[in-house]
Chain A
Amino acid sequence: MARERSLLELYAQDPERADALAFGRRGALKGTALAAMGAALGATIPFAARMPQGLLPAALAQPAGGPATLRMDGKAGLILLGERPLVAETPESMLDDDVTPADRFFIRNNGGIPERFSADPKTWRIRIDGEVNTPLDLTLGELESRFELVTLRLQMECGGNGRNAFVPETRGNQWGNGAISNGEWTGVRLRDVIRAAGPKDTARFTGHFGADPHLSGDTSRQAISRGMPIAKAMEDTTLIALRLNGEPIPLVHGFPVRLITPGWPGSLSQKWLNRITLRATPHDGPGMGGTSYRVPVKPIVPGSSTNGADFVDITSMPVRALLTNMAHGTRLPAGTRRLDLRGHGWAGDLTVRAVHVSTDFGASWAEMRVAEPPNRHSWQRWQGSVELPSDGYFEIWTRATDSQGRMQPHAAPNWNPQGYAANAMARTAILVG
């Protein structure tokens, strides 16, 4: 451990020297440099010859001191990314269930958490207004009795999931790959409610409002208020959700009611929902416009300055897969040669066609089996096995391919200042022996 920390410290203090030490001036990881790296890891690296230049082993890519752990009633020990606003990531190895338990949902807030609505939840009100013929002001009781209830397994993923793969680092919470969930949500279709309000021809976009207070305490400001094109709002998997996994939605996840807009950035799944307005033009609340939840059409130089004027809003999230039955940093007994692996894959509005796994830094790939999703916008289970040639340090690289043939890249693509849609393939470091 002492050796590992010293290499990390060296990187923090003198990156050039640390890089020279680890990789050598000619780029290949070998000789004394490889020995130094192996010593830092406490293991040999059997596939070192195939390790790309400048690539720090995944085992060393953790911040010194280790991440803090969330301690909160009703929540598992998630990785605490920030307290105010409260933000916590689910470790990938806690995402093994087909249906994500409520205590393992990642937490993302832009503002504070409102006090629980303590009256009968059925009396909470939601307004539907704007470009409609009949504005609605409905209690949850009326919502539930008037519209069909559906239960679906739906992905919800932060638009910034995978952000910590961007180089150079971008603004925002430095998510690994764990800002993803796949809960079983019960609610009414937003489509049915919009139809009941009689949308005008000019109703082309939505705007969403919730009860969470702005961090500054200014009650005239919204913490976040985003919106989407009407076509996404009218999809039969976009829900006004009342229950998660058969239970009332936990307070921190939006009790008593929230939107679920699966496959698109999680910020469109407004928590503590109290109003949806229909608009002729894109919504202009906090979290819209500029560089917020927007990415370049014409790629920009990583780290450069931009006001995002010619960016576009993120719609469907990109393809991604996770390994969920083997934690990053797992030590396995000497002589272990076969690994049975499994996880989930998803691709926003699309599906996952294939998942491949490599244990030799991408030189060779083994195809896994991928199950069909139980319903549209649910993630999909993958599983399979790989063989290792020896003891030592390995990284399990996991790469999904979507239904249109697009694969996860090695590096986070299309750098943008707020770090969205980074779907670099996941890397899990293990040590055999």
Chain B
Amino acid sequence: MSLSSLEKGAVGLACALGLLVLAMDVPASRRATGPAPLTPTPAALATAEADSRAAARRAEAERLDAERAASARAEAERLAAIQNPRESEDILPAGHGREEVFARCTTCHNTAIIRRSGFTRARWDELMDWMTEKQGMAPLEGDMRGLVVDYLAQHFPPRRNPRNTNPFLN
């Protein structure tokens, strides 16, 4: 990993020479005592050079991979900051149940969708079942459910076009 390209070239050359020696069937014991080292053939030199270039390419590819992975992580962190705005419970109107509503709802989503909603108590109540059935929310039952639904119904009632009270609705 940390070899310079010069060092890699040298290693490649040594390997090529070793191969050449084997190919010539020269006993290893004779190398130490033999005459001057053999001059590499042009073919061996070309192989060594190609190996060295391939190693350099691999190192460059690894460097680029690491760079891309680091940049992807940094991007994910920036996006996480956008997707997880710092909210505290006082973003919701004060009232009995606010703390519980904030804690339970922001397990999955932030408060924007609550603050932009407006339903009757019956529709808020149904929404609890829908979130459990469709979105995997832990079932909300008993007093806790009453507390959460009462808070939502009181602070986020239907607001749109109040003149339009439907004669078919209770």
Which residues of A pack against B, CB within 8 Å?
A: 11-12, 15-16, 18-19, 23, 53-54, 56, 63, 71-73, 80-86, 112-113, 115-119, 166-169, 171, 173-174, 214-216, 218, 221, 251-252, 286, 290-292, 301-305, 417
Q: Considering residues A80, A82, A171, A305, which has the most beta carbons from chain B within 10 angstroms of its beta carbon?
A: A82
A16 touches B127 (CB 8 A): no
Which residues of B lie under 8 Å from residue A119 when comparing CB positions? Answer: 65, 68
B83 touches A112 (CB 8 A): yes
Q: How far is the CA of A56 from the CA of B79 in the complex (A)?
A: 38
B134 touches A167 (CB 8 A): no
Q: How far is the CA of A168 from the CA of B166 in the complex (A)?
A: 9
Complex partner residue of B136 from A115, A214, A292, CB under 8 angstroms: A214
Q: Which of B115-170 contact A (CB under 8 A)?
A: 116-120, 122-123, 126-127, 130, 133-137, 158-164, 166, 168-169
Known: A83-B82, A85-B109, A218-B136. A303 touches B169 (CB 8 A): yes
Chain B: minimal CB distance from A412 (Å): 11
B117 touches A169 (CB 8 A): yes
Chain B: minimal CB distance from A217 (Å): 9
Q: How many residues of B contact A (CB 8 A)?
A: 45
The reply on B75 being an interface residue by CB < 8 A is yes
A216 touches B82 (CB 8 A): no
Q: How far is the CA of A214 from the CA of B108 in the complex (A)?
A: 9
Which residues of A lie under 8 Å from residue B112 when comparing CB positions? Answer: 80-84
Which residue of chain A is the closest to B107 with respect to CB atoms?
A216
Chain B: minimal CB distance from A5 (Å): 15
Which residues of A lie under 8 Å from residue B133 when comparing CB positions? Answer: 290
B109 touches A84 (CB 8 A): yes
Q: How far is the CA of A291 from the CA of B133 in the complex (A)?
A: 12
B72 touches A303 (CB 8 A): no
Given contacts A167-B164, A171-B130, 13 further A-B contacts (CB under 8 A): A82-B109, A83-B82, A83-B84, A83-B85, A84-B108, A84-B112, A116-B71, A116-B75, A116-B76, A168-B160, A171-B117, A303-B169, A304-B169
Q: Considering residues B65, B85, B112, B130, which has the most beta carbons from chain A within 10 angstroms of its beta carbon?
A: B112
Chain A: minimal CB distance from B158 (Å): 4
Which residues of B lie under 8 Å from residue A84 when comparing CB positions? Answer: 83-85, 108-110, 112
- Top 5 nearest A-B pairs by Cβ distance? A15-B162, A82-B112, A116-B72, A118-B72, A118-B68
B116 touches A174 (CB 8 A): yes
A301 touches B83 (CB 8 A): no
The reply on B113 being an interface residue by CB < 8 A is yes
Which residues of A lie under 8 Å from residue B158 when comparing CB positions? Answer: 168-169, 303
A16 touches B159 (CB 8 A): no
Interface residues as binary, B11-36 with A (CB distance below 8 Å gives 1, 0 otherwise): 00000000000000000000000000
The reply on B46 being an interface residue by CB < 8 A is no
Chain A: minimal CB distance from B58 (Å): 14
Chain A: minimal CB distance from B9 (Å): 27
20 contacts between A and B (CB under 8 A): A11-B159, A15-B162, A53-B163, A82-B113, A83-B85, A113-B76, A115-B72, A115-B76, A116-B71, A167-B160, A171-B117, A174-B116, A214-B136, A216-B136, A216-B137, A301-B169, A303-B123, A305-B122, A305-B123, A305-B126
The reply on B104 being an interface residue by CB < 8 A is no
Q: Which of B76-90 contact A (CB under 8 A)?
A: 76, 78-79, 82-85
The reply on B69 being an interface residue by CB < 8 A is yes
Complex partner residue of A56 from B65, B161, B166, CB under 8 angstroms: B161
Q: How far is the CA of A23 from the CA of B134 in the complex (A)?
A: 42
Chain A: minimal CB distance from B74 (Å): 10
A169 touches B109 (CB 8 A): no
Q: How far is the CA of A166 from the CA of B112 in the complex (A)?
A: 19
Chain A: minimal CB distance from B156 (Å): 10
Q: How far is the CA of A82 from the CA of B108 in the complex (A)?
A: 12
Complex partner residue of A167 from B69, B161, B168, CB under 8 angstroms: B161
